[in-house]
């Protein structure tokens, strides 16, 4: 997954497509040998009706699949890393951040014409660029030069959330060690780095963020907490299980519900996530 896809649209497309395919499987067309084939099929012909039903489902499936593919395209990403063209055009502080040139960062930071707050076309500071590029020495140098770790780019992401989504535990460790906050509200979803990491099953990142004081029960504008996202947008596998376990150990509220009033336990049960269901029950969920 590209960093931060439009997860809501894709999830809806995926779930609806699955429903359609299940319907086709459970309600296959039935043949009626007494009906001669015609084009277009006659309305009172049983195979014609069945064929039209299957065709409608197939069209819906194709449309939804196209939507899902479009959502997963690089242009649909909520986080936007610098493109190759942007990187080639970088000069000064942004170029130094991208390449990890600490000496250049230190020299440029002393010149008022090259502040560490300089923005590129997507609102990225040199610190955003260094974080995307995993240039940890540059991250340290930029913060020492006065970079604001709380600055959001045009997509409303800070460096901490960028590292969290990238599953870049080492860069995240550097950011947090130099005072970056794990508590900021970020992204179009009014979420947090913790929610984004939980959604992706980045369990090591989740543990770091919790240790740094990330709000475990923050509710985003989709009415989801980190625990709910780990379930509804996760795959139920080992990393999402470890994510849920870390959140529960940190005291995640198991009674907070989604917009439809469903608890984490109900959501895990409905998806057949047996291990998650057991973790939730052991934490007192009901």
Say if 262 falls within a structural domain: yes
Tens of pLDDT along 155-179?
A: 999 999 999 999 999 999 999 999 9
> According to the model, what pLDDT value does residue 134 have?
98
Q: How confident is the model at residue 114 (pLDDT cuts 50, 70, 90)?
A: confident
Tens of pLDDT along 212-230?
A: 999 999 999 999 999 999 9
Q: What's the CA gap between 205 and 168, in Å, rounded?
A: 8
In this structure, the answer to whether residues 157 and 83 fall within a common structural domain is yes
What is the pTM (predicted TM-score) of this model?
A: 0.76
Say if 244 falls within a structural domain: yes
In this structure, the answer to whether residues 189 and 285 fall within a common structural domain is yes
In this structure, the answer to whether residues 267 and 212 fall within a common structural domain is yes
Q: Mean pLDDT for the chain?
A: 82
Most confident by average pLDDT, 28-37, 63-72, 110-119, 247-256: 247-256
Q: CB count, 10 Å around CB of 81?
A: 19
> According to the model, what pLDDT value does residue 57 have?
53
Tens of pLDDT along 77-99?
A: 479 999 999 999 999 999 999 99
**What's the domain count of the chain?**
3
In this structure, the answer to whether residues 98 and 59 fall within a common structural domain is no
> According to the model, what pLDDT value does residue 78 have?
74
Say if 2 falls within a structural domain: no
Residues 6+ apart with CB under 8 A from 204: 167, 169
In this structure, the answer to whether residues 164 and 126 fall within a common structural domain is yes
Q: How confident is the model at residue 74 (pLDDT cuts 50, 70, 90)?
A: very low
> According to the model, what pLDDT value does residue 178 have?
98
In this structure, the answer to whether residues 39 and 124 fall within a common structural domain is no
Distance of CA 254 to the CA centre of its chain: 22
Say if 123 falls within a structural domain: yes
Say if 1 falls within a structural domain: no
> According to the model, what pLDDT value does residue 172 have?
98
Q: How would you label 190-212 residue by residue, b for 16+ Cβ within 10 Å and e otherwise? A: ebbbbbbbbbbbbbbbbbbbbeb
The answer to whether the CB of 116 falls within 8 A of the CB of 146 is: yes
Say if 136 falls within a structural domain: yes
> According to the model, what pLDDT value does residue 53 have?
52
Last residue of a domain, one of 181, 198, 218: 181
CATH number reported for the structural domain that contains residue 132 in this entry: 1.25.40.20
Q: Write out the residue range of the structural domain in which residue 54 sits.
A: 7-76
In this structure, the answer to whether residues 137 and 65 fall within a common structural domain is no
């Amino acid at each position: 997954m590209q960093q931060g896809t439009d997860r809501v649209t894709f999830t809806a497309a995926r779930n609806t497509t699955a429903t359609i395919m299940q319907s086709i499987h459970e309600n296959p067309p039935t043949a009626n040998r007494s009906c001669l084939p015609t084009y277009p099929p006659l309305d009172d012909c049983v195979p014609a009706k069945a064929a039209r039903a299957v065709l409608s489902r197939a069209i819906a499936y194709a449309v939804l699949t196209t939507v899902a593919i479009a959502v997963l395209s690089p242009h649909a990403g909520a986080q936007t890393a610098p493109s190759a063209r942007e990187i080639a055009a970088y000069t000064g502080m942004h170029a130094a951040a991208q390449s990890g040139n600490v000496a250049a960062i230190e020299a440029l930071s002393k010149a008022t014409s090259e502040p560490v707050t300089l923005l590129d076309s997507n609102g990225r500071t040199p610190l955003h660029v260094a974080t995307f590029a995993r240039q940890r020495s540059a991250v340290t140098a930029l913060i020492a030069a006065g970079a604001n770790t709380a600055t959001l780019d045009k997509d409303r992401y800070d460096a901490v959330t960028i590292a969290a989504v990238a599953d870049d535990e080492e860069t995240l460790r550097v950011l947090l060690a130099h005072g970056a906050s794990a508590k900021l509200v970020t992204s179009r979803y009014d979420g947090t780095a913790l929610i984004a990491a939980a959604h992706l099953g980045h369990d090591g990142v989740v543990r770091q963020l919790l240790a740094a004081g990330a709000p475990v029960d923050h509710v985003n504008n989709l009415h989801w907490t980190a625990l709910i996202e780990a379930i509804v947008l996760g795959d139920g596998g080992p990393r999402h299980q470890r994510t849920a376990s870390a959140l529960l150990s940190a005291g995640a509220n198991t009674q907070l519900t989604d917009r439809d009033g469903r608890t984490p336990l109900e959501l895990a049960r409905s998806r057949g996530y047996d291990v998650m269901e057991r973790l939730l029950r052991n934490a007192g969920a009901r």
